Structure 1
Amino acid sequence: MFKKTISTLAATCFFLIPFSGTADAARIYKTVSYYTLSGTTPAQLDKALAHKGPYIKSTGSRHPGATTISFDPRLKLVQDGRYCKVASVSVDVHAKMSLPRWKQRSTTKSIEMALVWDTLSRDIQRHEESHIVIARSHATKIERSVKSLPYRSNCNLLKQDIEKTTYNILLDHENAQRQFDRAEAVNFDHRFINLLVGRLQKLEQAKQ
């Protein structure tokens, strides 16, 4: 159920790297928006997901959920005598998440539909939250790597080192996000069935 749409869960990432200003502690800024689906059968909801899900340019298709991520680094360099060094660096992560909301969820009389939807929507949210976790780990990697760069004779040379280091980590980040999407797509059927079984078991236990 919902296999055709959900098997290609993905996120898109855009990277903004303006190094300037003073440094604060790295933070995660997350905003969540919802789009509404309407339907009373699994087929109708699947069709609604395929037509109303956020469009991702990099894949050329719509997806059940999407997270747009940007990195906002702040860097302070200090010329200390004959050397230039990194005084402080922090990288904030900005994430904009788009998730589905089922209009008839509160009025449906179908236990099966409610069960499947609750399981599905929570898995979509978990997937998108995971993209933020991946981004946060790479933001931390940028901070540590830039902070550990050796001193240079002038700040222009150090800025070149910073740009190269950051560029390589952002490439790693993009690859990590894509690998995560591929793994999630391959394992979707098995994961979703296990989630459904687990939820059913909890419902049965609650009835006892």
Structure 2
Amino acid sequence: MISMRKVLALTAVLAFAATTAEAAKIHRSYSYYTVSGKTAADLDKALSSGGHLLKSTGQRHPGAAQIRFDAKARYGSNGKACRVTGVYVNVYAKVFLPRWKQRRTASQELALVWDTLSQDIKRHEESHIVIARSHASDIERQVKALPSRPDCALLRQDIDKITTRVMKDHDAAQKRFDRVETLNFEKRFERLLTYRLEREFGKSN
């Protein structure tokens, strides 16, 4: 069985800004970089040296997700108290993924390994977006539930406390996800590859 190493050290780059807007949405975009090689060792080297460079780590990674939160809170006073009138959190995600130049001319075995690996990398990055979306929903829910305050300055402080706390939780959740994924990568990849092999052999028999 062909195996690859050092292929899953992924992270999310986070930023946060608070402004006003109309609605909460998930915005995805994809960017691809080319890797070249005719053997598993070639591809492993290409992924390590040609992956997306993250400024936060100074290292290149096979895949990466840059995630930005754009929170929009609206609130106003009726002269007696200030209350939240609307809140939305948009998540912007830019995903960087590898694309193998020799995929169409590769051996069936190596192509199978690559397809399994590249799909797992994409799944990993999409999972980062799911985690971000969950925390964006937390911000919306908690801010909407805030009680009115005597003045808007106090309400603004409450909003800031919530966003700061949830973003801290989000950062921890992303890092925890990466640690678990990295620890389980070999077993997961072997299981996925075995499933694909069985499926392919099943079709040919």
Give distance in 1, aligned partners of 2:74 and 2:142. 14
Q: Identify the residue that residue 11 of structure 2 maps to in structure 1.
A: 11
Aligned ranges 1:117-132 → 2 under 5 Å: 117-132=114-129
Match of 2:162 among 141, 165, 188: 165
Query: Alignment partner for residue 101 of structure 1, among 94, 99, 105?
Result: 99
Residues in 1 aligned to 2:95 and 2:184: alpha-carbon distance in whole angstroms: 22
Distance 1:145 1:78, change over 3 A: same
**Which residue number in structure 2 is paired with residue 148 of structure 1?**
145
Pair 1:114 & 2:111 matched:
yes
- Check conservation: 1:53, 1:62, Cα contact below 8 A: yes
Distance 1:193 1:17, change over 3 A: same
1:184 paired residue number: 181
Count of residue correspondences: 203
Note if 1:2 corresponds to 2:4: yes
Q: Root-mean-square deviation (CA), in Å?
A: 1.1
Shift of 1:125: 0.2
Q: CA contact under 8 A between 1:50 and 1:64: conserved in structure 2?
A: yes
What residue ranges of structure 1 are gaps of 5+ in the alignment?
A: none
TM-score (norm 2): 0.96
**Contact in 1 for aligned 2:48/2:62 (Cα 8 Å):** yes
Residues in 1 aligned to 2:86 and 2:149: alpha-carbon distance in whole angstroms: 15
Report SS of the residue matched to 2:114. Answer: helix
Which ranges of 4 or more aligned residues in structure 1 deviate by more than 3 Å? none
2-structure distance, mates of 1:70, 1:94: 5
